[in-house]
Amino acid sequence: MRARLIPAVLLLGLTLGCAGPSPKPVEVLDERTGVTLGALKEPIELLPSAQGESLIAHKRITFAYLGPVEWNRSGAFSYGLWVHIAPGDDRPLGDIHAAGAVTLILDDGPLTLSAIEPPALGRPPYQQVVSWGQIGYFDLSIDSLRRMAASGKLELNVRAVDGSVIGFSPTRESHTALTEYLEARGISAD
């Protein structure tokens, strides 16, 4: 029995090791304001969903990044989604702060995001990838965070200047990172 268990444990370890590390959650105290900030160690990276011709015709494609944020002001919690668009020379995107410009597509349907003004802290929750990109913060509820973590599908749709929609998909699995984020923040999955 034990001889059969050892190969199974080794196979499981090898499988989990090959899955690649997920961005782990971190917590930082902003000493200037006293607000504790909870975020992923690294944001989730997304590429345009329909790359085909875009990769061939252009040298630089647009990337998107997102990450959940928790602000704890002496026990008063609020949540948001940090979104960073690193524009390439493929299709110009519109203002991500405009109403209805950014939508998450999850297993159970779309989640239209509303821009918010984040607390003024001494440090951002995530670092910009490029200085010329757009950054926006969007309102999230605990239920929205749970929906994101429970979803196997996570796409970001952003409205382009011409009114069309550009879809972005994660470069790697995001479910685990979002689930770990909820657990680290003490938010149950139900």
Does any domain span residue 6? no
The DSSP 8-state label assigned to residue 125 in this structure reads: S
* pTM, entire model: 0.82
Q: Which domain holds residue 164?
A: 23-184
Does any domain span residue 72? yes
Does any domain span residue 180? yes
Q: Which residues of 10-28 are buried (b: 16+ CB within 10 A; e: fewer)?
A: eeeeeeeeeeeebbebeee
Does any domain span residue 96? yes
Does any domain span residue 145? yes
Pick the closest to residue 115 from 138, 147, 82, 92 (CA basis): 138
Asked if residue 38 has pLDDT above 90, the reply is: yes
pLDDT tens profile 2-37: 344 333 333 333 333 344 444 557 889 988 899 999
CATH number for the domain spanning 43: value is 2.60.40
Alpha carbons 177 and 179: distance in angstroms, whole number: 6
Count of structural domains, the chain: 1
Apex 44 CA angle, 161 and 142, nearest 5: 95
pLDDT tens profile 93-129: 889 999 999 999 999 999 999 999 999 998 899 998 8
Handedness of CA 90, 148, 27, 71 (dihedral sign): positive
Does any domain span residue 121? yes
Asked if residue 186 has pLDDT above 70, the reply is: yes
